[in-house]
Chain A
Amino acid sequence: DGGITQSPKYLFRKEGQNVTLSCEQNLNHDAMYWYRQDPGQGLRLIYYSQIVNDFQKGDIAEGYSVSREKKESFPLTVTSAQKNPTAFYLCASSMGTSGAYNEQFFGPGTRLTVL
């Protein structure tokens, strides 16, 4: 898990609620990423950020929002607009701005369950 922390480890949400997942890294990495993992599927990119105060949508950004106010922090908010939010959420970071060229280091994940 390196120097990437995610909290909480488990999160329960009622329908209609927004929740925020925390991701912090002390690796001095430039880029950070949020992925969603569902059973039987490969990881899917939600959002990524290459520099502070800038972020880009990934393949499944609808119903999610992010911010990057500090280099070490990249919180993900799961909004009520996300119709099927129950999943395992993984945060990652990489040195440099290319997630494809540079190795990505993953956090321990947050399991979100909608009640």
Chain B
Amino acid sequence: KNQVEQSPQSLIILEGKNCTLQCNYTVSPFSNLRWYKQDTGRGPVSLTIMTFSENTKSNGRYTATLDADTKQSSLHITASQLSDSASYICVVSEGFQKLVFGTGTRLLVSP
């Protein structure tokens, strides 16, 4: 069964600290992997999209990595800000049409 698993489920960090969120997937065939940020009660917003050949992609303080051999991805957040408090969702594209969503990591940045 195609699945996307994220860890940890939730995380609390102090403002200014770095953190790394993990995503493991078993989706096949693989097209691309996306990270979304979702604020509470809002729609997800795309952070990065990586294809099979891309190992890393940055978007400001967000850096995503992809290891297609081990089917793992991570999202690293540098110098966290209070506005980073949100859920972060890993999404893997299966073939041409289907997206498989992870359940998300809920991040709380504390002052």
Residues of A in contact with B (beta carbons under 8 Å apart): 1, 4, 6, 40-45, 48, 88, 90, 92, 98-101, 103-109, 111
Contact = CB atoms under 8 A, between A and B. Distances in A.
A101 B42 contact: no
Given A100-B31, A100-B94, A1 B99 contact: no
A91 to B, nearest CB: 8
B41 interface: yes
Interface residues on B, range: 20 to 34
Given A42-B104, A100-B94, A109 B32 contact: no
A90 B93 contact: no
A42 B4 CA distance: 9
Given A40-B103, A42-B103, A103 B41 contact: no
A4 B42 CA distance: 12
Contact of A101 (B4, B41, B96, B101): B96
Contacts of A107: 43
Contacts of A41: 103
A101 B93 contact: yes
A4 B4 CA distance: 27
B101 A109 contact: no
Contacts of B75: none
Contacts of B104: 42
Contacts of B34: 103
Given A42-B103, A43-B101, A106 B44 contact: yes
Contacts of A44: 101
